[in-house]
Amino acid sequence: MQDKYQLLRQHFEEIVTLTDEEWKIIAPHFEHKKLKKHQFLIQTGQPVDCEFWIINGLIKSYAVDEKGSEHILQFAMEDYWVSDYYAFQHQIPATIFVDCIEDSEFFCLSLESREIICQKIPAMANFFRIKSNYGFIGLQQRILSLLTQTAEERYDALLFKLPKLVQRVPKKLIAAYLGVSRETLSRFKG
Amino acid sequence: MQDKYQLLRQHFEEIVTLTDEEWKIIAPHFEHKKLKKHQFLIQTGQPVDCEFWIINGLIKSYAVDEKGSEHILQFAMEDYWVSDYYAFQHQIPATIFVDCIEDSEFFCLSLESREIICQKIPAMANFFRIKSNYGFIGLQQRILSLLTQTAEERYDALLFKLPKLVQRVPKKLIAAYLGVSRETLSRFKG
DNA sequence: GTTAAAAAGTGATATACATCACATTTTTTT
DNA sequence: AAAAAAATGTGATGTATATCACTTTTTAAC
């Protein structure tokens, strides 16, 4: 178990440096948890107590429309952060679902804990700032791909960027991420 | 002119508190500039020296595809931040354009300056962290709208959220932001 | 104030993609 | 290993939206 916390520290130290003193303050704010395939981290209408850092497994966040169709906001795998950030930040009930595509292990961090850590340890404010920046940039790229590319071009780009993910999950989930029907996606390529 | 810097300080102090000492360190990193309608802040292929905080006016960031069509990533008005963040963060040539829809006034901040400020003044690391978080959340909402809504629903939502913006800019730019042709957008509503 | 340019509206037609229905294959459960 | 469930493939058909071509209206430039 201690090794899992080691992984978390390493994740921070890829971007900032932490003293052992600082780590002693940080670590207790993180709670280690496991869930099995199909279990939920977040359900709509429920409070969003945490954001999550994935140790292993595969998780998806998604909205469900009136017709019951899923629209995937994010696939979160090893080393990714995930939550319903809108609800988490505003401390309101969730509007999206987050659940496990595979058995998964992760750390939980509450909003209160995050803010305490950022106030006490400037390096951590910088860590979250830089991470958030990269997240922002990633989402801008995705918006551009939705605006400028056809569904098939987006599929090709994803195949190129994350070939293993495309193998790892049912194609209907890939379709729900790309914004195309599973039938149409099934007709792409040779 | 000094009042413009006052506006900037107020913008920071909406989120964090700063001492006069700290402000003396921060302010000199910001350069005040003005540009007229149609002038560029960023052009593809050019280095991206700065991110920009808009004092007044109206600016757009956009990609141009092979066919020459514009796809708008962001409208930036008073109190907004804008740049080619992908290029800015990685310090590579711009892949999008940023130009003025109206005469505009803004402050410029280099990547180096931003990092210095964040290292020296923890409150500023927190400011940029929190801002970046909100930006991230906004982009997630936009991705969901692109995945779940029809073009007309997106138009209605924008009319509801930013009615003044829809009045203020040519509809073809609204279309380029929503991911719909100007002809189709022109056929919406009664 | 006149001229030029840009924006906006609209019909006709084309197309990317969705939806429906059902067969086939693969994976999971017991 | 058998049965059930989920995923995938594919034809037929429908639809939202794009594109093209042109006119009218509004805004900007001289």
Q: Please check whether strand C approaches the CB of B179 to within 7 Å.
A: no
Q: Which of A96, A118, A147 sits opposite B71 (nearest CB)?
A: A147
Q: In this structure, how many other beta carbons lie within 10 angstroms of the beta carbon of residue A24?
A: 10
Q: With beta carbons under 8 A apart, name residues in chain B contacting A97.
A: none
CA of A52 to C1' of D3 (A): 38
Determine phi and psi for B187, rounding to 5 degrees.
-90, -5
The mean per-residue pLDDT over the stretch B65-76 comes to 95
Structure tokens at B129: 């962290």
Contact A118 B126 (CB under 8 A): yes
Q: What percent of chain B has pLDDT over 70?
A: 98
Supply the pLDDT for residue A189. Answer: 81
Query: Exposed e or buried b for every residue in A61-87, given b needs 16+ CB within 10 A?
Result: bbbeeeeeebbbbbbbbeeebbbbbbb
Q: Compare all CA atoms of chain B with the CA of A177 and give the residue at the minimum distance.
A: B147
Q: How confident is the model at residue B190 (pLDDT cuts 50, 70, 90)?
A: low
Angle (nearest 5°) at CA A183 between A181 and A188? 95
> Footprint of strand D, using CB within 7 A?
A 170-172, 182-183, 186-187; B 67, 69, 150-152, 179-181, 183-184
Supply the pLDDT for residue B189. Answer: 81
Q: Please check whether strand C approaches the CB of B67 to within 7 Å.
A: no
- A 52-111: CB under 8 A from B: 63, 65, 71-73, 85-86, 89, 96
- Identify the CATH class of A2-112+121-148: mainly beta
C-beta of residue B159 within 8 angstroms of C-beta of residue B166: yes
The mean per-residue pLDDT over the stretch B143-148 comes to 97
State how far residue A165 is from chain B, nearest Cα, in angstroms.
20
Structure tokens at A105: 């292990």
Say whether residue A141 is in contact with chain B using an 8 A CB cutoff. Answer: yes
> Is it the case that residue B144 has pLDDT exceeding 90?
yes
CA of B186 to C1' of C16 (A): 21
The overall average pLDDT reported for chain B is 96
Contact A132 B137 (CB under 8 A): no
> Is it the case that residue B23 has pLDDT exceeding 70?
yes
Instruction: Please state the separation of Cα B64 from the chain's center in Å.
Output: 17
Domain at B2-148, CATH from 2.30.40.10, 3.40.190.10, 2.60.120.10, 3.30.70.20: 2.60.120.10
Structure tokens at A112: 């209160």
List, edge to edge, every strand of the sheet that includes A97-100: A40-42, A97-100, A58-64, A70-77
Q: Which of B85, B118, B146 sits opposite A136 (nearest CB)?
A: B85
The mean per-residue pLDDT over the stretch B116-122 comes to 98
Q: With beta carbons under 8 A apart, name residues in chain A contacting B148.
A: 63, 65, 71
Q: What is the mean pLDDT of each run of 10 residues along chain A (190 residues)?
A: 91 98 98 95 97 97 94 97 97 97 97 98 97 98 97 97 96 98 92
State how far residue A6 is from chain B, nearest Cα, in angstroms.
24
Q: With beta carbons under 8 A apart, name residues in chain A contacting B136.
A: 85, 132, 135-136, 139
Coil, helix or strand for B34? strand
Supply the pLDDT for residue B58. Answer: 97
The mean per-residue pLDDT over the stretch B94-109 comes to 97
> Is it the case that residue B49 has pLDDT exceeding 70?
yes
Q: Which nucleotides of D are covered by protein (CB under 7 A)?
A: 6-12, 16-21
Supply the pLDDT for residue A172. Answer: 97
Say whether residue B132 is in contact with chain A using an 8 A CB cutoff. Answer: yes
> Is it the case that residue B99 has pLDDT exceeding 70?
yes
Residue position matching structure tokens 């130009």: B99
CA–CA dist A160, A133 (Å, integer): 23
Contact A126 B118 (CB under 8 A): yes
Q: With beta carbons under 8 A apart, name residues in chain B contacting A117.
A: none
